[in-house]
Amino acid sequence: MPAMRLEGLTKHYGDPVHGVTALAGVDLKVDQGEFVAVVGRSGSGKTTMLDCVGLLMQPSAGRVLLDGVDAGTLNERQRAELRSHRIGFIFQEFNLLPTMTAMENILLPLRYSKGDRRAARARAEALLAEVGLADRANHRPTQLSGGEQQRIAIARSLINQPSLVLGDEPMGEVDTETSDLLLGLMRRINLESSVTFLIVTHDLELAARTDRQIRLRDGHLVSDERLAA
Ligand SMILES: Nc1ncnc2c1ncn2[C@@H]1O[C@H](COP(=O)(O)OP(=O)(O)OP(=O)(O)O)[C@@H](O)[C@H]1O
Ligand SMILES: [Mg+2]
């Protein structure tokens, strides 16, 4: 059974006459442990697709199935549960909370879970070190550069040990060297724990280093290429 399956995924914004069709019937199957790059021009529907897959948005038509479960049959509480336990998000605009420190931001996805706090903190510290920001734990977002905020957002997406990570341009603001480091981190987690990654990127060189590249154009999936390792 695929980890993620989209069937005729369609999203309209606004009214039928003046509105926009952001997704026009996307079909896609992704297996557990695949690392997939999502490419396509600005406005092609990439963020909309991620928002639907991450259960942040209801599609206008079609279905999102996660591990065979049709998300459309779940109530809001069940959707929230799935999001907080199974899915990691890296948003296009980071969405870090300005009043919280880097450490607090990383721990944020665990705020409603009952797990061991000390273990969570140790994991957050390890993630901070992995993104190269061990000495920035107590900085607030305004005291961090754009690329540093992005790295905090990546660490945050991994804190709940998700089985699916959705990244919207997670390496958009960093230099090549840092981008290599971050891709390396995601790849390691991908291989070690068989975590599925769906990563939007404009960087075609980066896209070429994944397992599979899908392309959206005007809300349609126009290519799906498996790449040699
Ligand atoms: N809330 C909204 N209301 C109306 N139209 C929207 C809304 N959000 C997105 N759109 C439109 O839907 C289309 C797809 O938007 P989306 O954000 O998914 O694109 P994208 O591929 O992520 O682009 P980018 O690379 O610029 O982030 C665009 O034409 C956009 O203008
Ligand atoms: Mg976008």
pLDDT, tens only, 215-225? 999 999 999 99
* pLDDT value, residue 39: 97
Tokens of 141: 């977002």
Pocket test for ligand 1, best of 44, 92, 218 (most atoms within 8 A of CB): 44
C-alpha 93 to ligand 2 mean position (Å): 9
* pLDDT value, residue 150: 93
Tell me which DSSP letter residue 136 carries. G
- Over residues 129-139, the mean pLDDT reads 96
Is any atom of ligand 1 closer than 6 Å to the C-beta of 16? no
Pocket test for ligand 1, best of 15, 20, 215 (most atoms within 8 A of CB): 20
* pLDDT value, residue 188: 93
How would you class 147 by CB atoms within 10 Å of its CB: exposed for 0-12, middle for 13-18, buried for 19 or more? middle
Question: In terms of Cα–Cα distance, which of 205, 214, 162, 226 is closest to 23?
Answer: 214
Residues with CB under 5 A from ligand 2 (ion): 47
Identify the structural domains of the chain with CATH numbers, from first to last: 4-226 (3.40.50.300)
- Local confidence band at 229 (pLDDT 50, 70, 90 cut-offs): low
- Phi, psi for 125 (deg, rounded to 5): -65, -40
Asked whether residue 122 carries a pLDDT value surpassing 70, the answer given is: yes
Arithmetic mean of pLDDT over the chain: 95
| Residue bearing the CA closest to ligand 1, atom 31 | 43
Ligand nearest to the CA of 20: 1
State the Cα–Cα distance between residues 196 and 182, nearest whole angstrom. Answer: 16
* pLDDT value, residue 115: 85
Asked whether residue 213 carries a pLDDT value surpassing 70, the answer given is: yes
| Residue bearing the CA closest to ligand 1, atom 30 | 43
- Over residues 138-156, the mean pLDDT reads 95
Asked whether residue 112 carries a pLDDT value surpassing 90, the answer given is: no
Tokens of 190: 């991908």
Q: Are 97 and 139 in contact (CB under 8 A)?
A: no
| Residue bearing the CA closest to ligand 1, atom 6 | 13
Q: Give percent of the chain with pLDDT exceeding 70.
A: 100
* pLDDT value, residue 228: 76
C-alpha 157 to ligand 1 mean position (Å): 22
Asked whether residue 24 carries a pLDDT value surpassing 90, the answer given is: yes
- Local confidence band at 94 (pLDDT 50, 70, 90 cut-offs): confident
Question: In terms of Cα–Cα distance, which of 167, 164, 190 is closest to 151?
Answer: 167
- The predicted model scores a pTM of 0.95
- Over residues 181-193, the mean pLDDT reads 93
> For residue range 61-76, what is the model confidence (pLDDT) as tens digits?
999 999 999 999 999 9
Ligand nearest to the CA of 45: 1
Q: State which ligand 1 atom lies nearest to the alpha carbon of 44.
A: 21
Ligand nearest to the CA of 48: 1
| Residue bearing the CA closest to ligand 1, atom 7 | 13
Asked whether residue 98 carries a pLDDT value surpassing 70, the answer given is: yes
